[in-house]
Amino acid sequence: MTAPTLPGPPPTAEPVDFETYSNYGDPSAPSRGGLFRHSAQGDTIRPPYPIQGRIRAGAPEPGADRSADPAHTTGAQLAGQFPAAPDRYVLYVSLACPWAQRQLIVRQLKGLQEVIAVAVVDPIRDARGWAFRPGRGLTLDPYNHFTFLSQAYNATIPDFPGHVSVPVLWDTTTRQIVSNNFPDISLDLGSEFDQWAANPGLDLYPADLRGEIDALNDRIYRTVNNGVYQAGGATTQQAYDRAVTALFETLDDLESRLGDNRHLFGDRLTEADIRLWVTLARFDAVYATHFKTNRRRLVDYPNLWDYARRLYQQPAFHETTDFDQIKRHYFITHAHLNPHRIVPIGFEADWTAPTRR
């Protein structure tokens, strides 16, 4: 058992229907906060992630009014603290989404598969957003019987007006979203459930490196994780040029950094490696073509490609990676970039090839 379920079979969402409901993110459709909005200069503006509760070992139960909680210091709509406990929380994820895969990797590295439950949405979404449908690598929702993830948001903030995103960490006790703020979720999974973890000794965010990890994570987020979206979503040449230049400057620096190191911080696997890796995993399969980040491919970087394969060959990485779902999500969902929804065959790449280290 990893979380209480509701009686009876969970329902299934209606099939994807672009003709009736339009495309996800279409400003004329009722998608309530699409991904690609832009500044006057053509830069992509990522929507906010306003539900920012935290898991804390020993925390009391959250009050009814989370916004009045003294821990509410982030400016988020909802903050507050929730107690760490087994068999209580559910991760709602998409295997296609890099922000969501981070959580699955940390969950498996820490050995929390029997502590934190998971439900997996369909990678294809029309304007109604993420949905629960049957299929290979997908699940329905036995925990709440939601058919669309928007129902979780509306249960937490009535008539939620924003971007319905994954990952979501859901609390089955108070029946609300703890957080949709992906950087916080993985940090809490990596530290607050050690009492029940199969691998409690793994510290992905060690105190002696936190300042350096935070600085590198900030750069990787701005120029790589979000940088590919900045390039792909740019609506002016200048915005695209800025994004793609910063992206490859960082990749070049990371290539040098990994010349003598197994990981970004020597021999220690940290949160920074996980945050970088999920973008590398999608780089040649999607971003190099779909987002036009094509100055070089991942396979053209000897050190980065070796590093990416070495991590992939660990179960927590390859068992949470589904290249088919990744490709279908991006190329079918983003009709403004790929109006005929053709999924390309992609570059050949052997992720299982031997590595140097």
- Residue 66's pLDDT is what? 64
Q: Average pLDDT in the 298-309 region?
A: 98
Do residues 54 and 180 share a domain?
Answer: yes
237-257 pLDDT per residue, tens: 999 999 999 999 999 999 999
The residue annotated as part of the active site, out of 229, 287, 312, 330, is 229
Do residues 178 and 211 share a domain?
Answer: no
pTM comes to 0.95
Cα separation, 243 vs 229, whole angstroms: 9
- Residue 71's pLDDT is what? 44
Amino acid at 219: R
Do residues 306 and 160 share a domain?
Answer: no
Q: What residues contact 238, with CB distance under 8 A and at least 6 apart?
A: 41, 42
Do residues 118 and 91 share a domain?
Answer: yes
Do residues 323 and 217 share a domain?
Answer: yes
Q: Give burial (CB, 10 Å; 0-12/13-18/19+) of 211.
A: exposed
In this structure, what CATH number is given to the domain that contains residue 93?
A: 3.40.30.10
Is residue 40 over pLDDT 60?
Answer: yes
The residue annotated as part of the active site, out of 24, 89, 97, 312, is 97
- Domain termination site, one of 160, 191, 222: 191
- Residue 162's pLDDT is what? 86
Is residue 70 over pLDDT 60?
Answer: no
Do residues 251 and 171 share a domain?
Answer: no
> Is position 198 within any domain?
no
321-330 pLDDT per residue, tens: 999 999 999 9
Question: Does 240 participate in catalysis according to the annotation?
Answer: no
> Is position 287 within any domain?
yes
- Residue 29's pLDDT is what? 53
**Mean pLDDT across the chain:** 93
Do residues 287 and 316 share a domain?
Answer: yes
Is residue 68 over pLDDT 50?
Answer: no
In this structure, what CATH number is given to the domain that contains residue 268?
A: 1.20.1050.10
Q: Which residues pair with residue 54 across a beta bridge?
A: 81
Do residues 32 and 121 share a domain?
Answer: yes
Q: Are 179 and 169 in contact (CB under 8 A)?
A: yes
Cα separation, 331 vs 344, whole angstroms: 8
Do residues 172 and 32 share a domain?
Answer: yes
Do residues 217 and 329 share a domain?
Answer: yes
> Is position 2 within any domain?
no
Quote the number of domains for the chain: 2
Is residue 74 over pLDDT 50?
Answer: no
Q: What are phi and psi of 168, to 5 degrees?
A: -130, 135
Question: Does 287 participate in catalysis according to the annotation?
Answer: no
Do residues 187 and 211 share a domain?
Answer: no
The DSSP bridge pattern shows strands 37-38 and 117-120 to be unpaired
Task: For residue 215, give its domain range.
Answer: 207-333
Do residues 184 and 56 share a domain?
Answer: yes
Amino acid at 335: A
12-34 pLDDT per residue, tens: 999 999 999 999 876 555 444 45
Is residue 264 over pLDDT 50?
Answer: yes
Q: Average pLDDT in the 48-63 region?
A: 90
